Amino acid sequence: MIKTAILDVTAIEPRLKHPTIFDHFDALEQGESFIILNDHDPRPLYYQLLGERGNFFQWEYLESGPEWWRVSIAKPAKENKEETVGEIAAADMRKAEVFKKLGIDFCCGGKTTLKEAASRIGLSEEELREKLVTADKQGGIPVHLDFNSWDIAFLADYIKNIHHGYVREFGPTLEQLADKVALRHGNEHPELLELAQHMQVFMRDLYEHLEKEENILFPLTKELSSLTKEEIAYLVSELRKEHEDAGAELTAFKQLTKNYTLPANACNSYTYLYDSMKAFEQDLLQHIHLENNILFPKMIDTCRKELSTL
């Protein structure tokens, strides 16, 4: 049990403040909380908790200055529900790498439970958990990869600049390559003609999806109070469905190309097309993961908290 329900941080020696708060947090049982009292906003502590304890605590301002700040810090009670691979990957990118190596889809298939995922690759749930435990011993995640601790608006900007930028830069090249290779090798490999046609539709839908996110979703990350919980949930549901459609198209491409297996007579353009498609797939899956498993849940959770304070 913790020593006190209210911790007056102003009465603690400066060098001992954060260690003392961490001691109190670590002593909490699931479902317990304590309150810190401070004479300034303790926001830096929030980010330190995220970095050193992960996204497994609740932070709620009870009073926000100008003279005193009171913050409730809690360890949520465990819910009686199975973890999904998306939730696990979002909380720890090291575990996401384990899923990736095992061929477990934690992006579009992020709602799959650990037990279901293990069964699909011929492992027991216990065997899969053992592999995930191994990931815990690989050291900390570099700060720049700890997406789960990022501010919502900052994460949205990152997705737009990095992943949307990637799609817009390499998408047209991919379309042109698919057409070029189909024109040259289509008679001998008719699947290339189908691939080129599907690529045009796939990229058109993907560009429209990016526009929807940039014009509607991303601006909301800076002003969530302008939307109701029901409205954000509907928008997120619609975008998730489009992600599932994109994931299905990626699967169809792999089936059509026999997992990007090149024929013996493949020219440089043929090889470059398949290499580019594999790279594009990896970037898009990471893009979808960041939105499905981190950005969307953060937006819904933040919207819920803001509404509860009204």
Residue 268: phi and psi, rounded to 5, are: -60, -40
Q: Residue with structure tokens 């961490």?
A: 22
CATH architecture, domain defined by 6-74: 2-Layer Sandwich (3.30)
**Residue 60 near residue 260, CB atoms below 8 Å:** no
| Burial class of residue 90, CB neighbours in 10 A (0-12, 13-18, 19+) | buried
- What is the full per-residue pLDDT of the chain (310 aa) written as tens digits? 455 689 999 999 888 888 899 889 888 888 889 999 999 988 888 877 876 776 678 888 899 888 999 999 998 776 656 778 888 877 666 777 788 888 888 777 778 888 898 888 998 888 888 888 776 555 444 444 578 888 899 999 999 999 999 999 899 999 999 999 999 999 999 999 999 999 999 999 999 999 999 999 999 888 876 667 778 888 899 999 999 999 999 999 999 999 999 998 888 889 989 989 988 998 999 899 999 999 999 888 877 555 444 4
Q: Tell me the torsion sign for CA atoms 242, 111, 286, 291.
A: positive
Q: Where are the domains of the chain?
A: 6-74, 85-144, 150-308
**Residue 85 near residue 103, CB atoms below 8 Å:** no
